[in-house]
């Protein structure tokens, strides 16, 4: 039994100017507040639920463009407030729309409070049935977002997901960020939802060893062959182990799967240990922060400061300072790993030997009970090397796709996520971000369902827990100048990365609205030049409206 709709006063119409929004508190019988967000778009009022469907953060703190796009300031998700629809990952559900009326200059919401508290998923209830078969190889962000978008776009064919993992797709970024949640808190969608709601044939614990693009067949280990009409390749990446002595000793771990994370956490529970993290990229730094309260952490890297390549030396030094202020961790920069020493028994680790890059410096020995290796990742595409009909892989093992994410030289096959090298403003690139993979899945699903592939144009967004949460938008490869507002070593800054005076990326700490405003401006083609920002232009005062499709 549903409750009646209530008429609730929201705001005076003349108090909410076009392009602005306001969160309106609502009360429910359960005493758990569910609020509404009211927005004025070109003089017309709209209302939706007020929390981002990714992690439930308040959208009122985000950026609303004049044309009705609403950006979450925390992780860059974007919604269309006029419909509630998702415009950009990592949001998993649309916002719930709330009917609005304007009477005597007052804006009223017409709310069924019981219904408001329920999530909406946008899945088409009765899609038109077809005999078309879509097979998705891989069980991560691409897979679940592709399946959802297929069903949201009236796809009535058969969907099969083949995953090597033993569980439904999980929110992988959570694995390296502190306390490990239980599986039910990690899954993006549980098995029951995938099978019953999305009507997906979910095949777990199964690896694909070859595909035949002529016969349109996928060969699975121990489970025979499955045929497809359209194939989606989304197998992700594999952590790279350095080719050094001792890399396979007991106590040397990598981080990719839930099993990897569980093994690391189990080992840390026994006693306080000396843990050496090899690699000062984002995953290595996140693991250092995550385990810094339970072990003596030493982070070792080849550059002068962490993240010197993607963020620049000043921001990288600020990140290092922020982390050291939060955790009793050590950094050893500008060194090369020589080998990992075994313990007295011979099968476990006892130390990591490094060579400083300073001329004439002797080797250093770092005691280690555990080594966490974070040395990058390689595309999980070995099964394609066993597939004679598949086009040759790129030198790094990735799959080249066109601007619509279709495999180059192969009909009816798409690829997304970590394995896909796709055209960007900086050339063909492979970008290993959760947000990129999710948006790849959404775009591929829409293309298959509608039969109308289009250019993939989403701007990469990611975040990382490094003392304070660092947020990044854009593609900064090849930047030639950085302009910084604020103090990176005080964990409060906005850094703009320019190439030929064009802003191509931004990173921030504790200035979240700046990141999403920059994202909106870059998307709309309205980002000012780097020299203009350096001369005092305040991007928060600019209009990010655009007719450009997200």
Handedness of CA 415, 420, 426, 432 (dihedral sign): positive
Eight-state DSSP code of residue 87: E
**Domain 252-374 -> CATH class:** alpha beta
The per-residue pLDDT for range 445-476, each reduced to its tens digit, is 999 999 999 999 999 999 998 988 899 999 99
pLDDT of residue 208: 97
pLDDT digits (tens, 9 = 90+) for 11-60: 999 999 998 999 998 865 544 467 899 999 999 999 999 999 998 889 99
Measured between alpha carbons, how far is 195 from 488 in angstroms, rounded to an integer?
46
What pLDDT is attached to residue 29?
52
- Annotated domain spans of the chain: 6-116, 129-238+378-450, 252-374, 476-541
Alpha carbon 496 to its chain centroid, in Å, reads 21
Percent of the chain with pLDDT over 70: 97
The confidence score (pLDDT) of residue 549 equals 39
With a cut of 70, say whether residue 548 has pLDDT above it.
no
Q: What fold does the segment set 6-116 form as a domain? A: Rieske Iron-sulfur Protein (2.102.10)
pLDDT of residue 512: 84
Residue 49 parent element (H or E) = strand 44-49
Using CB atoms within 10 A of its CB, is residue 182 exposed (0-12), middle (13-18) or buried (19+)?
Answer: exposed
Q: What beta strand segments (E) does 301-376 contain?
A: 330-332, 335-342, 349-356, 364-367, 370-373
Q: Which CATH architecture has domain 476-541?
A: 2-Layer Sandwich (3.30)
Contact 88, 111 (CB under 8 A): no
- With a cut of 70, say whether residue 127 has pLDDT above it: yes
Cβ atoms < 10 Å from Cβ of 276: 29
Q: Give a three-class secondary structure readout of 246-264.
A: CCCCECEECCCCHHHHHHH
| Residue 28, burial from CB neighbour count under 10 angstroms (0-12, 13-18, 19+) | middle
pLDDT at 3: 63
Reference 258, options 324, 353, 348, 180; nearest CA is: 180
Sign of CA dihedral 142, 147, 150, 151: negative
**CB distance 163 to 258 below 8 Å:** no
Token digits of residue 236: 């992700």
CATH fold match for the domains 129-238+378-450 and 476-541: no
Q: What is the pLDDT of residues 262-309, one digit of tens each?
A: 999 988 887 668 999 999 999 999 999 999 988 999 999 999 999 999
Q: Give the model's pLDDT for residue 193.
A: 97
Helices and strands (DSSP H and E) totals, the chain? 12, 37
**pLDDT tens figures, 62-109:** 889 888 999 998 888 999 999 999 998 899 999 999 999 999 999 999
Q: Give the alpha-carbon dihedral of 327, 332, 337, 338, to 10 degrees.
A: -120
Q: What are phi and psi of 546, to 5 degrees?
A: -165, 155
- Which tokens belong to 116? 């408001």
Which residue did the predictor score with more confidence, 216 or 386? 216
Span 197-204, average pLDDT: 98
Nearest Cα to 501, choosing from 536, 532, 546? Answer: 532
For residue 365, give both structure tokens: 């020995």
Confidence grade of residue 241 (pLDDT, cut at 50, 70, 90): very high
Averaged pLDDT, 195-201: 97
> Is the per-residue pLDDT at 187 higher than 60?
yes
Mean pLDDT to the nearest integer, 323-351: 95
**Average pLDDT for residues 333-347, to the nearest whole number?**
95
Q: What is the mean pLDDT of the chain?
A: 92
Identify the pLDDT of residue 550: 33
Please name the residues in contact with 532: beta carbons below 8 A apart, sequence gap of 6 or more: none
pTM higher than 0.95: no
pLDDT at position 135 is 98
Superfamily of domain 129-238+378-450: FAD/NAD(P)-binding domain (3.50.50.60)
């Amino acid at each position: 039994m549903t409750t009646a709709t209530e008429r609730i006063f929201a705001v005076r119409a003349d108090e909410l100017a076009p392009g602005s929004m306001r969160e309106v508190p609502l009360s429910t019988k359960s005493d758990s507040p569910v609020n509404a967000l009211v927005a004025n778009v070109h003089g017309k009022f709209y209302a939706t639920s007020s929390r981002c469907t990714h992690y439930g953060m308040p959208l009122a703190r985000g950026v609303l463009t004049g044309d009705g796009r609403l950006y979450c300031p925390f992780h860059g998700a974007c919604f269309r407030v006029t419909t509630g629809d998702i415009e950009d990952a990592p949001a998993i559900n649309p916002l719930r729309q709330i009917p609005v009326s304007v009477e005597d200059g007052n804006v009223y919401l017409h709310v069924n409070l019981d219904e408001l508290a329920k999530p909406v998923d946008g899945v088409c209830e009765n899609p038109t049935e077809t005999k078309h078969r879509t097979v998705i190889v891989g069980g991560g962000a691409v897979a679940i977002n592709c399946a959802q978008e297929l069903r949201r776009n009236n796809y009535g064919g058969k969907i099969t997901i083949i995953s090597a993992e033993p569980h439904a797709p999980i929110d992988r970024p959570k694995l390296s960020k502190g306390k490990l949640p239980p599986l039910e808190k990690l899954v993006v969608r549980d098995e029951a939802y995938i099978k019953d709601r999305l009507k997906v044939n979910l095949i777990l614990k199964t690896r694909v060893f070859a595909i035949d693009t002529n016969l349109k067949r996928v060969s699975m280990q121990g489970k025979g062959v499955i045929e497809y009409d359209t194939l989606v390749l989304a197998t992700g990446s594999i952590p790279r182990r350095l080719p050094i002595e001792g890399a396979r000793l007991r106590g040397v771990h990598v981080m990719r799967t839930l099993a990897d994370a569980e093994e690391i956490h189990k080992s840390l529970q026994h006693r306080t240990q000396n843990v050496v993290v090899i690699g000062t990229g984002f995953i290595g730094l996140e693991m250092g922060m995550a385990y810094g309260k339970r072990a003596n952490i030493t982070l070792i890297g080849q550059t002068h400061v962490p993240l010197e390549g993607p963020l620049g030396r000043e921001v990288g030094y600020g990140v290092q300072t922020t982390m050291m202020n939060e955790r009793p961790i050590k950094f050893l920069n500008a060194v090369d790993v020589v080998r990992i020493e075994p313990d007295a028994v011979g099968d476990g680790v006892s130390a990591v030997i490094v060579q400083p890059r300073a001329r004439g410096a002797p080797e250093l020995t770092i005691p280690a009970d555990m080594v966490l290796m974070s040395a990058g990742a390689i595309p999980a595409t070995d099964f394609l090397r066993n597939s004679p009909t598949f086009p040759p892989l790129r030198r790094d093992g990735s799959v080249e796709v066109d601007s619509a994410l279709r495999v180059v030289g192969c009909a009816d096959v798409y690829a997304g996520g970590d394995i896909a090298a796709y055209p960007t403003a900086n050339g063909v690139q492979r970008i290993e971000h959760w947000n990129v993979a999710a948006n790849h899945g959404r775009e591929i699903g829409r293309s298959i369902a509608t039969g109308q592939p289009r250019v993939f144009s989403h701007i990469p967004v990611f975040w990382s827990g490094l003392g304070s949460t660092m947020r990044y938008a854009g593609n900064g490869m090849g930047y030639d100048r950085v302009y910084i507002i604020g103090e990176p070593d005080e964990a409060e800054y906005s850094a703009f990365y320019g190439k030929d005076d064009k802003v191509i990326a931004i990173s921030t700490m504790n200035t979240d609205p700046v990141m999403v405003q920059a994202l909106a401006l870059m998307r709309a083609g309205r980002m000012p030049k780097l020299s203009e920002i350096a001369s005092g232009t305040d991007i928060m005062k600019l209009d990010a409206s655009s007719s450009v499709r997200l």
